[in-house]
Amino acid sequence: MRERIDRAARAAGRDPDGVRLVAVSKTFPPAAVQAGADAGLADFGENRVQEALGKIERAARPRVRWHLIGHLQSNKARAAAAAFDWIHSVDSTKLLRRLDEAAADAATAPNLLVQVDLAGEATKHGAPVAEVRPLLEAALACRAARVRGLMLMPPWNEDPEATRPYFRRLRELRDGLLDEGIAPAALGDLSMGMSHDFEVAIAEGATMVRVGTAIFGRRTPPR
């Protein structure tokens, strides 16, 4: 996996060290995380807080970092801010404030990403494009949590080339926000790309790819 990532980065003229692999261990048991960590994986992604907590408890930190990649309900913000190193699914100012408050109380410093809804799919999660800038501005007031960039979960398409325009639009959105004066420290990361399309995402600027199936195998039931 790492070799494919490095190759994709070099092909795009990028430094492979600029792409972090997040191994998505959702639905797999703690033993799978342990095996992955023993094989050198350092970042693990989960999409449900409750499911993740048991695995996080067992894992050898700080060697292993935990990423929440799934939708976060505000009533779980407290648990998430205490347990995760990265939270990829911040999609409202209200959730941002809750996470920051909870992080301050727990004396943690989670890294946050703003999930963007580029497709305007009302049924999906993510902040509408027009709300990304206000969210980043609100993040300036955070005391404990830190916003580090943007995350994208594009509409599913089997063909990675069909998803490329979404990856590109997230990068262009980031570049536009930088031009408008948003601090680079809040826009350093782009979390995009999964098992079947991470190479295209890397070509379009991903700094974090979230890969499950291609590492751990097929999930039953899939989600």
Ligand X SMILES: *Cc1c(COP(=O)(O)O)cnc(C)c1O
Is the CB of 48 or the CB of 168 nearer to ligand X?
48
Using rule CB under 6 A, residue 207 touches ligand X: no
Which of the ranges 31-39, 57-65, 120-128, 207-215 carries the binding residues for ligand X, by CB under 6 A?
207-215
Question: Which tokens in the block code for residue 52?
Answer: 């993740």
54/27 Cα distance (integer angstroms)? 12
Using rule CB under 6 A, residue 47 touches ligand X: yes
Is the CB of 70 or the CB of 205 nearer to ligand X?
70
177/125 Cα distance (integer angstroms)? 21
Using rule CB under 6 A, residue 55 touches ligand X: no
**DSSP letter for each residue of 32-94:** HHHHHHHTT--EEEES-HHHHHHHHHHS-TTTSEEEE-S---GGGHHHHHHH-SEEEEE-SHH
In 10 A of CB 158, how many CB atoms? 8
Per-residue mark of binding to ligand X, 121-160 (x: CB under 6 A):
--------------------------------x-------
Interacting residues toward ligand X by CB under 6 A: 24, 26, 47, 69-70, 153, 194-195, 210-214
